Amino acid sequence: MTAILGISAFYHDSAAALVVDGEIIAAAQEERFTRKKHDHNFPNHAVQYCLEEANLTPEQLDYVGFYDKPLTKFERLLETYLAFAPSGYRSFRQAIPLWLKQKLHLPREIGNGLQNRYSGRYVFTDHHESHAASAFFPSPFEEAAILTLDGVGEWSTACFGTGNGNRIELTQEIRFPHSMGLLYSAMTYYTGFRVNSGEYKLMGLAPYGEPRFRTQILDHLLDLKDDGSFQMDMSYFNYCQGLTMTSKKFHHLFGGPPRTPESKITQREMDLAASVQSVTEEIMLRMTRHVHTQTGCRNLVLAGGVALNCVGNGRLLREGPFDDIWIQPAAGDAGGALGNALFIWHQLLDQPRVPDPHDSQKGSFLGPQYTDAQVAASLQQDDAVYQHFESDQQLCDAVAALIAEQKVVGWFQGRMEFGPRALGARSILGDARSVEMQSVMNQKIKFRESFRPFAPMVLDAHKQDYFELAPSRQSPYMLQVAPVQKQLRTQPSPEQQQAFGIDRLNYARSTIPAVTHVDYSARIQTIDETRNPLMHQLLTAFHQLTGCPVIINTSFNIRSEPIVCTPQQAFRCFMTTDMDALVIGRHLLRKTAQKKTTTATQRQQHLLQFPLD
């Protein structure tokens, strides 16, 4: 037996992943345990969970790996500060103590995290190598082109290459400071959202705007080539030397200072979002066409934070040159832990790889799970009132009926998801047919901005009835956007056609209005019996009851809170929101039946635990 622990830490989204004899045994983000969103600290809890899942001790690990090379990253940091000196002195003073204390001593830090009980070899892989490994090795392809896109690793901000059998090779790169991810993050900052957290909000805001700043971006911010490579004019940016993302020159170009966080979103922010999203999609398309020409591969795999841009991914599928695309569900830095472990197994140890026709990610259900006895004990401790079902079918029939009555249901089942998306293990479910459901779930359950869309779950066998997806396309990880079928769309009235910006939110666009965005798109998750049999059973029951095979799926959390991990966290979230019901295992809790109630003060105290993202 060969046990390999991969770790990512000290930037954002720390995580651990365990691979034993090539099989992915466990993986989890540290934030789920500490309840600190995007926790960057050493993933002590995630490591402990991975070892417990495999019943291993640190002494039994054969290799421990880290997802990037700190010395190379430190070199980049020093060179960048020297290049911009003396203007970056404040940023330099803030960063260097942490490097000298912690980041340059990773073997010591990792050893401490393993209680000094591991005496084996440490393996450091290049940041984009880790992303590439996470994209290719779990994929269903024997051979594929690889494209990794993010903010920055050591020096690389984008890489491409190929994977074949049990080997990957990266052959071209774009280097810091020129970065598509940092361009998107700069606009995230400028529009008043948090960097490394709010980029998905910018993507969700884009359809409300018009790309009227696209020309300014392409004429001033970057020089884009036909092959997708580009160089940025760094006089518009401040991230190399300062504590902010954008410079005064950037602010002058776009007509004023950055939006103050939590202030009113104006048409300018919507148009900026539409513009940077349009440019991002154009870069992604040009890059993939170039990669296809250079590699001749039929399939493409993607990873890196930019690969979470599901709108761009959807365009790659519809307009790109590849027959099929597989995207790592934990495409950001958390997935680097998994990539590191798989790289050690396949590439360093030269172990064979047999692709799984679905993929070897196991639906990305790689986190902790709880037995029925553990759930019952937890509920009793919380003095919860619940109904227990003897069979999954009875449970699914009851929950389907609740959703059909337009009740909002928390759904907690099996192993927690690895990656940023809730995929049906830690989800909040609702009726996609409801005109009011998007507003209800955003304002009374998620406590988040009203413009943000919800994603549909659809039975894979019926996906083409509702969405413009090819028969062979699956989207099990909610990483693709596709249009709602034209015959399901509703025609707006003359008054609705005149609506502008956020006012476009206020009318139904299809027969599944709760999951149809203002541009008639949807971020789709297809449900099949192989990856998630219980969710397939629930959707089937709902389909039989209503004739509709689509429901809303959003993550089981409130705004800025990490997705719930334990039954206790699920119950607390249930009680402090306006969810109508909670399902944990075969236990069904109805809000109206609970002995306890949550006061407005208690709810506010709960919300204040989580800083706004």
Q: Mind listing the pLDDT tens digit for each residue in 241-259?
A: 878 999 999 999 999 999 9
- Average pLDDT, stretch 113-139? 97
Given a cut of 80, whether residue 143 has pLDDT beyond it is yes
- The CA distances from residue 555 to 102, 426, 437, 489, in Å, are 33, 6, 15, 26
Q: Mind listing the pLDDT tens digit for each residue in 177-188?
A: 999 999 999 999
Q: How far, rounded to the nearest angstrom, does the alpha carbon of residue 50 sit from its chain's CA centroid?
A: 20
Taking the alpha carbons of 98, 104, 106, 108 in that order, is the dihedral positive or negative? Answer: negative
Strand order across the 587-590 sheet: 387-388, 587-590, 581-584, 409-412, 426-431, 550-555, 455-459, 521-527, 480-483
Q: Give yes or no: residues 540 and 579 share one domain.
A: yes
119 φ/ψ angles, rounded to the nearest 5 degrees: -125, 15
- Average pLDDT, stretch 516-543? 97
Q: Give yes or no: residues 96 and 214 share one domain.
A: no
Residue 88: the pLDDT is 65
pTM of the model: 0.95
User: Percentage of the chain with pLDDT > 90?
Assistant: 82
Q: Give yes or no: residues 317 and 348 share one domain.
A: no
C-alpha span between 564 and 561 (Å, rounded): 8
Number of domains in the chain: 3
Q: Mind listing the pLDDT tens digit for each residue in 381-394?
A: 999 999 999 999 99
Q: Give yes or no: residues 210 and 192 share one domain.
A: yes
Residue 148: the pLDDT is 99
Task: Give the residue with greater pLDDT, 405 vs 502.
Answer: 405
Q: Are 308 and 135 in contact, with CB atoms under 8 Å apart?
A: no
Q: Give yes or no: residues 506 and 433 share one domain.
A: yes
Q: Give yes or no: residues 354 and 319 share one domain.
A: no
Domain with residue 472: its CATH number is: 3.90.870.20
Residue 118: the pLDDT is 95
Q: Give yes or no: residues 274 and 420 share one domain.
A: no
Q: Give yes or no: residues 487 and 528 share one domain.
A: yes
450 φ/ψ angles, rounded to the nearest 5 degrees: -70, -25
Q: Mind listing the pLDDT tens digit for each residue in 357-384?
A: 999 999 999 999 999 999 999 999 999 9
Residue 447: the pLDDT is 82
Q: Give yes or no: residues 465 and 538 share one domain.
A: yes
Indicate whether 285 belongs to any domain: yes
Residue 500: the pLDDT is 66
Q: Give yes or no: residues 506 and 412 share one domain.
A: yes
Choose among 3, 204, 206, 190: nearest CA to 114.
Answer: 3
Q: Give yes or no: residues 68 and 206 share one domain.
A: no
Given a cut of 70, whether residue 22 has pLDDT beyond it is yes
Residue 89: the pLDDT is 65
Taking the alpha carbons of 514, 517, 519, 525 in that order, is the dihedral positive or negative? Answer: negative
- Average pLDDT, stretch 542-547? 99
Residue 9: the pLDDT is 95
C-alpha span between 83 and 341 (Å, rounded): 35
Given a cut of 80, whether residue 450 has pLDDT beyond it is no
- Average pLDDT, stretch 302-314? 97
- Average pLDDT, stretch 64-70? 95
Q: Mind listing the pLDDT tens digit for each residue in 465-483?
A: 999 998 888 999 999 999 9
303 in helix, strand or coil? Answer: strand
Mean pLDDT of the chain: 94
Indicate whether 150 belongs to any domain: no
Indicate whether 146 belongs to any domain: no
Given a cut of 80, whether residue 221 has pLDDT beyond it is yes
Q: Mind listing the pLDDT tens digit for each residue in 563-584?
A: 999 999 999 999 999 999 999 9
Indicate whether 85 belongs to any domain: yes
Q: Which domain holds residue 304?
A: 180-325
Indicate whether 94 belongs to any domain: yes
Indicate whether 249 belongs to any domain: yes
pLDDT-wise least confident of 158-167, 181-190, 435-444: 435-444
Indicate whether 160 belongs to any domain: no
Indicate whether 155 belongs to any domain: no
- The CA distances from residue 451 to 337, 382, 516, in Å, are 33, 35, 12
Given a cut of 90, whether residue 84 has pLDDT beyond it is no
C-alpha span between 127 and 430 (Å, rounded): 38
Given a cut of 70, whether residue 409 has pLDDT beyond it is yes
Domain with residue 257: its CATH number is: 3.30.420.40
Q: Give yes or no: residues 35 and 59 share one domain.
A: yes
